[in-house]
Amino acid sequence: MILAAGRGERMRPLTDSLPKPLLEVRGKPLMQWPMEALAAGGFTELVVNTAWLGEKISGRFGPNPLLDGHPALSISYSDEGHDFGEALETAGGIVRALPQLGEIFWVAAGDVFAPDFVFTQASVDRFAASGKLAHLWLVPNPAHNLKGDFGLSAEGLALNSAPEKYTFSTIGLYRAALFAPPYCGIPAGNPAGAKAPLAPILRAAMDNERVSAELYAGPWTDVGTPERLLQLNTPR
């Protein structure tokens, strides 16, 4: 699943007429980078959730895009804007899309730039065998999030409390059971369009040692401001 429903308020005025995931980074729409990486890893069935200017995203990629020689993707769109008038936040959007997702699935944000991240079947297999409900990739803290989000134990568990915390990259593997009781009370498919953030669900599962994590050391940018976008597009 590619998350692409946000309004991108901090990116205005760039996002007044274009959804943030379609802003170009090094010649491609920002969200195309994880789409191509997923395709390269053999993960060709995607769900993309949309809200703000969502028709521009579905119009740009359609249902079966061929991206720079990668295997053809099959994209289903979860149009939260059309169905409910606004984005449902991360967990609300994932639960809305659950009927279109498998028992285990990737989630990546369409507004994060991690050009070297590799989506592998081996990662999926390890996660499936672990019995955990989520596996997160964490990154060194950027200047805009120096306190970090989650800790990491020596055994590879994600922690709520730790002396040292890292930033959640937004890339993760999930089991559908995370988005069911006792961690999430929204019915699968989210028929009422309930809005819900992801962090409280993850934190509750962390308290039960059901979330694993690892560090990712490759280049990573949360493209949250025009300045960060400019930096990525400035030749070095």
Of the candidate ranges 51-55, 104-108, 147-151, 156-160, the one whose mean pLDDT is the lowest: 51-55
Calculate what percentage of the chain has a pLDDT beyond 70: 100
Alpha carbon distance 151, 159 (integer Å): 5
Which of 79, 145, 83 lies closest to 112 in space, CA to CA? 145
pLDDT in tens, 174-215: 999 999 999 999 998 999 999 999 999 999 999 999 999 999
pTM value is 0.94
- Expressed in angstroms, the distance from the first to the final Cα of the chain is 32
136: number of Cβ within 10 Å: 25
pLDDT in tens, 58-70: 999 989 988 888 8
Counts of helices then strands in the chain (DSSP H, E): 7, 13
Which of 152, 115, 113 lies closest to 136 in space, CA to CA? 152
- Do residues 115 and 191 touch, judged by C-beta distance below 8 A? no
Calculate what percentage of the chain has a pLDDT beyond 90: 81
